[in-house]
Amino acid sequence: MIGKPWTVRFYPKKKFAQKYPGTLGVCLGWKRQIRLPLRGLKEETVAHELTHAMLHEMCVTSTDSLRREELEEVFCEMWAKFGVDMLMLADQIWTEYQRRRA
Protein backbone atom coordinates (compact mmCIF):
# COMPACT_ATOMS: atom_id res chain seq x y z
CA MET A 1 0.00 0.00 0.00
CA ILE A 2 1.47 3.31 -1.08
CA GLY A 3 4.92 1.75 -1.36
CA LYS A 4 4.88 0.15 2.09
CA PRO A 5 4.97 -3.65 2.46
CA TRP A 6 1.86 -5.30 3.87
CA THR A 7 1.20 -8.99 4.38
CA VAL A 8 -2.02 -10.96 4.05
CA ARG A 9 -2.39 -13.99 6.27
CA PHE A 10 -5.03 -16.64 5.92
CA TYR A 11 -6.12 -18.56 9.01
CA PRO A 12 -8.17 -21.74 9.32
CA LYS A 13 -11.78 -20.67 9.81
CA LYS A 14 -12.07 -22.09 13.35
CA LYS A 15 -8.82 -20.49 14.54
CA PHE A 16 -9.81 -17.16 12.97
CA ALA A 17 -13.25 -17.26 14.64
CA GLN A 18 -11.66 -17.99 18.03
CA LYS A 19 -9.10 -15.22 17.67
CA TYR A 20 -11.45 -12.63 16.11
CA PRO A 21 -15.02 -13.56 17.08
CA GLY A 22 -17.76 -11.88 15.10
CA THR A 23 -15.45 -10.43 12.44
CA LEU A 24 -15.09 -11.29 8.76
CA GLY A 25 -11.57 -9.91 8.38
CA VAL A 26 -9.06 -7.88 10.36
CA CYS A 27 -6.65 -5.09 9.44
CA LEU A 28 -3.79 -4.65 11.92
CA GLY A 29 -2.35 -1.33 10.83
CA TRP A 30 0.50 -1.23 13.32
CA LYS A 31 1.71 -4.60 11.99
CA ARG A 32 0.78 -3.84 8.38
CA GLN A 33 -1.15 -7.11 8.21
CA ILE A 34 -4.53 -8.13 6.91
CA ARG A 35 -5.84 -11.34 8.43
CA LEU A 36 -8.57 -13.34 6.74
CA PRO A 37 -10.30 -16.69 7.29
CA LEU A 38 -9.42 -19.49 4.89
CA ARG A 39 -13.09 -20.44 4.49
CA GLY A 40 -16.22 -18.34 4.14
CA LEU A 41 -14.46 -15.23 2.88
CA LYS A 42 -16.33 -12.81 0.61
CA GLU A 43 -14.75 -10.62 -2.05
CA GLU A 44 -16.26 -7.53 -0.44
CA THR A 45 -14.42 -8.31 2.79
CA VAL A 46 -11.08 -8.24 0.97
CA ALA A 47 -11.83 -4.79 -0.46
CA HIS A 48 -13.12 -3.65 2.94
CA GLU A 49 -9.92 -4.64 4.73
CA LEU A 50 -7.78 -3.10 1.97
CA THR A 51 -9.67 0.15 2.51
CA HIS A 52 -8.77 0.03 6.21
CA ALA A 53 -5.13 -0.52 5.22
CA MET A 54 -5.18 2.38 2.77
CA LEU A 55 -6.75 4.71 5.32
CA HIS A 56 -4.07 3.66 7.81
CA GLU A 57 -1.32 4.53 5.32
CA MET A 58 -3.02 7.86 4.62
CA CYS A 59 -2.93 8.59 8.40
CA VAL A 60 -6.72 8.66 8.67
CA THR A 61 -7.22 6.14 11.46
CA SER A 62 -9.74 8.19 13.42
CA THR A 63 -12.39 10.26 11.73
CA ASP A 64 -14.20 11.47 14.84
CA SER A 65 -13.21 15.08 14.26
CA LEU A 66 -14.03 15.15 10.53
CA ARG A 67 -17.29 16.53 9.21
CA ARG A 68 -19.20 14.37 6.73
CA GLU A 69 -18.06 16.56 3.83
CA GLU A 70 -14.41 16.25 4.88
CA LEU A 71 -14.66 12.49 5.23
CA GLU A 72 -16.29 12.30 1.82
CA GLU A 73 -13.32 14.19 0.34
CA VAL A 74 -10.86 11.75 1.94
CA PHE A 75 -12.63 8.78 0.32
CA CYS A 76 -12.99 10.53 -3.03
CA GLU A 77 -9.28 11.36 -3.09
CA MET A 78 -8.36 7.84 -2.04
CA TRP A 79 -10.45 6.26 -4.79
CA ALA A 80 -9.32 8.75 -7.41
CA LYS A 81 -5.65 8.11 -6.66
CA PHE A 82 -5.61 4.48 -5.58
CA GLY A 83 -8.97 2.89 -6.46
CA VAL A 84 -7.84 0.92 -9.51
CA ASP A 85 -4.73 -0.34 -7.69
CA MET A 86 -6.80 -1.36 -4.66
CA LEU A 87 -9.28 -3.28 -6.81
CA MET A 88 -6.46 -5.04 -8.67
CA LEU A 89 -4.84 -5.96 -5.34
CA ALA A 90 -8.18 -7.19 -3.99
CA ASP A 91 -8.48 -9.40 -7.08
CA GLN A 92 -4.97 -10.82 -6.50
CA ILE A 93 -5.80 -11.60 -2.85
CA TRP A 94 -9.13 -13.18 -3.89
CA THR A 95 -7.34 -15.34 -6.45
CA GLU A 96 -4.83 -16.48 -3.81
CA TYR A 97 -7.69 -17.24 -1.42
CA GLN A 98 -9.40 -19.41 -4.02
CA ARG A 99 -6.12 -21.20 -4.79
CA ARG A 100 -5.48 -21.96 -1.11
CA ARG A 101 -8.92 -23.33 -0.35
CA ALA A 102 -8.93 -25.59 -3.41
Alpha-carbon span 31 to 55, nearest angstrom: 14
Q: How much is the pLDDT for 37?
A: 95
Contact 8, 27 (CB under 8 A): no
Alpha-carbon span 66 to 72, nearest angstrom: 9
Per-chain mean pLDDT for the chain: 87
Q: Which of 1, 64, 60 is nearest to 31 (CA)?
A: 1
Please tell me the pTM assigned to this model.
0.79
Query: Considering the chain, what percentage of its residues have pLDDT values greater than 70?
Result: 94
Please enumerate in sequence order all residues whose Cβ is within 8 A of that of 33, keeping only pairs 6 or more positions apart, or say none.
Answer: 6, 7, 8, 9, 27
Q: How much is the pLDDT for 61?
A: 66
Q: How much is the pLDDT for 51?
A: 87
Q: How much is the pLDDT for 35?
A: 96
Please enumerate in sequence order all residues whose Cβ is within 8 A of that of 91, keeping only pairs 6 or more positions apart, or say none.
Answer: none
6-55: per-residue pLDDT in tens? 999 999 999 999 999 999 999 998 899 999 999 889 888 999 898 888 88
Which amino acid is it at 76? C
Domain spans, the chain: 7-101
